[in-house]
Chains A and B, each alone.
Chain A
Amino acid sequence: MTSFRDVELLSAYLDGQLSPPDSARLESRLSSDASLRAALNDLRSARGLLRQLPQRRAPRNFTLTPKMAGIKPPEPRAYPTLRFATVLATLLFLATFAINGLAPIRATSFASAPAPASGFGMGGSGCEQGCGGGGPETAPQAAGPATEAPLQTFATNETPTPDIRSSLAVQPTQATDNSQPTPELLNKNSAPTEMAPNAAPGMGNAQPLPVQSEAPIPFVWQIGLAIVAVIFGAAAWSIRKFNESKFRKRWK
């Protein structure tokens, strides 16, 4: 009967894993011990059986696909530039709408707030161009009352009353013929844009006011930006699709 220590030695001896002195010692024991020899033969047979096991062929190929390996198709070189250009053009396109949309509001607030300082009688959102010319000419006569009166007007009348509007519409000349502006008349300065045409003809030496404010960014520009965004977007998309299909075709 062989001990486990002997089996361990025999197993290592079979595989050539014993040091030369240990091998020599075991070989001398093997020559005199029949049971040790039989145990060695058993181990050798068991190992031989295992080594004779047929090697099966793999049932399929285990090659990895890019999807399995988490590999994405490389980005085309021009793609980041095109993508950036698309985003930029789109943002600018949207910004033009925002700017054009905000323009009337800005003009209205500008017209209502600084009107007292720029003289009276010009009112309306077309003031940006028309007031500058008319203001200084009327200022010598009207500067005195104009600086004080609007404040009172704003304090007492927050909104223009319908009767004032109608009187102005019916008698436009009253506003300019009267060099001493009444609070009611001054209140007209903060009236909406549509009042300007009514007041303009009676302004005497004032330059004609624009009927409505122009969009700061022309429509042509907006169209141009939209076209640029679409062209760059389409180019980026198609270059990427082409690259992906090429990549997929390669791995098919």
Chain B
Amino acid sequence: MDESALIKDAQRGDLDSFNTLVLAYQDVLFNTALRILSDEDQAADATQDAFLSAFKSINTFRGGSFKAWLMRTVTNACYDELRRKKRRPTTPLEPDTSDGDEMDSPRWLADKSMSPEQKLEADELEHAIQHCLDALPSDFRTVVVLADIQGLDYAEVANATRVPLGTIKSRLARARLRLRECLQGFWELLPASLRLDKETQ
């Protein structure tokens, strides 16, 4: 895939070229939105909005990292979604068990590579990490999602969030510190290789 050629064609209004880029980046953008918003439906909406907004403003792309540019659009879409959520808080319509607990969808049934136990552990760990991410302020969460989950470098994160590089460093350090503290509460879920050093508490 010649990304720059596709971008140029998309800038001339070629929707096919843009859709090729969409297919290449939709998983990354969806995961970013999912980690920031912690809700699949909202993440899907934000991703769709981000791609739509990206197509409309693709002529403002002046080179550099296209991924970082797309990350900026999805970050903006997530912030819009968070603001909307704050204005109109909603109650999730997840089915409850007889005890009133939320019932998780049995996603592991579809995954043949893991045993149900392994999948359950992985899901619990994912929930724990997502819980700790949700506890972060949205600015910190965005930085940590872009840098640590999506693997963007500091300059790309700064570009995506339109925040100075020094602020990115500071936010990332604070976010990691808070995550470390939060994850201590899920000690038993952490894999042995990644267990946090209890002595530092």
Question: A residues engaging B (CB < 8 A)?
Answer: 4, 7-8, 10-12, 15, 17, 35, 38-39, 41-43, 45-64, 66, 68-69, 71
Please, how many angstroms separate the alpha-carbon atoms of A8 and B56 in the complex? 38
Cβ A49 vs Cβ B129 within 8 A: yes
Contacts of A61 in B (CB 8 A): 22-23, 26
Cβ A50 vs Cβ B15 within 8 A: no
Main secondary structure of the interface of A (DSSP, over half): helix
Given contacts A42-B180, A46-B196, contact A60 B44 (CB under 8 A): yes
Q: A7-B176, A49-B129 given; name 16 further pairs at CB < 8 Å.
A: A10-B173, A42-B180, A43-B176, A45-B190, A46-B180, A49-B179, A49-B194, A50-B148, A50-B149, A51-B148, A55-B28, A62-B44, A62-B48, A64-B22, A68-B52, A69-B55
Number of inter-chain CB pairs below 8 Å: 122
Q: List 9 A-B contacts (CB under 8 A).
A: A8-B173, A11-B173, A42-B197, A45-B196, A46-B179, A50-B149, A62-B48, A64-B55, A69-B15
Cβ A69 vs Cβ B170 within 8 A: no
Cβ B18 vs Cβ A64 within 8 A: yes
- Give the Cβ gap from B89 to chain A, nearest Cβ, in Å: 23
- Which partner residue on chain A sits nearest B125 by CB separation? A49
Cβ B44 vs Cβ A49 within 8 A: no
Cβ B173 vs Cβ A53 within 8 A: no
Please, how many angstroms separate the alpha-carbon atoms of A50 and B40 in the complex? 18
Contacts of A39 in B (CB 8 A): 200
Cβ B190 vs Cβ A49 within 8 A: yes
Please, how many angstroms separate the alpha-carbon atoms of A71 and B13 in the complex? 9
* B35 in complex: contacting residue of A53, A58, A59, CB < 8 Å: A53
Contacts of B200 in A (CB 8 A): 35, 38-39, 41-42
Please, how many angstroms separate the alpha-carbon atoms of A55 and B23 in the complex? 15
Contacts of A17 in B (CB 8 A): 154, 169
Cβ A12 vs Cβ B169 within 8 A: yes
Judged by a CB distance under 8 angstroms, whether B38 is at the interface is: no
Of B28, B40, B148, most buried by chain A (CB within 10 Å of CB) is B148
5 closest Cβ pairs, A-B complex: A11-B173, A50-B148, A8-B173, A63-B19, A38-B200
Question: B residues engaging A (CB < 8 A)?
Answer: 13, 15, 18-19, 22-23, 26-31, 34-35, 40, 44, 47-48, 51-52, 55-56, 122, 125-126, 129, 144, 147-149, 151, 153-154, 169-170, 172-174, 176-177, 179-180, 183, 190, 193-197, 199-200
Contacts of A49 in B (CB 8 A): 125, 129, 179, 183, 190, 194
Cβ B44 vs Cβ A59 within 8 A: yes
Cβ A69 vs Cβ B52 within 8 A: yes
- Give the Cβ gap from B8 to chain A, nearest Cβ, in Å: 17
Cβ B197 vs Cβ A41 within 8 A: yes
Cβ A64 vs Cβ B19 within 8 A: yes
* B52 in complex: contacting residue of A12, A15, A64, CB < 8 Å: A64
* B15 in complex: contacting residue of A7, A55, A59, A64, CB < 8 Å: A64
Please, how many angstroms separate the alpha-carbon atoms of A48 and B23 in the complex? 27
- Give the Cβ gap from B177 to chain A, nearest Cβ, in Å: 5
Please, how many angstroms separate the alpha-carbon atoms of A11 and B31 in the complex? 23
Given contacts A56-B30, A62-B22, A71-B13, contact A51 B173 (CB under 8 A): no
Please, how many angstroms separate the alpha-carbon atoms of A61 and B125 in the complex? 27
Please, how many angstroms separate the alpha-carbon atoms of A60 and B29 in the complex? 12
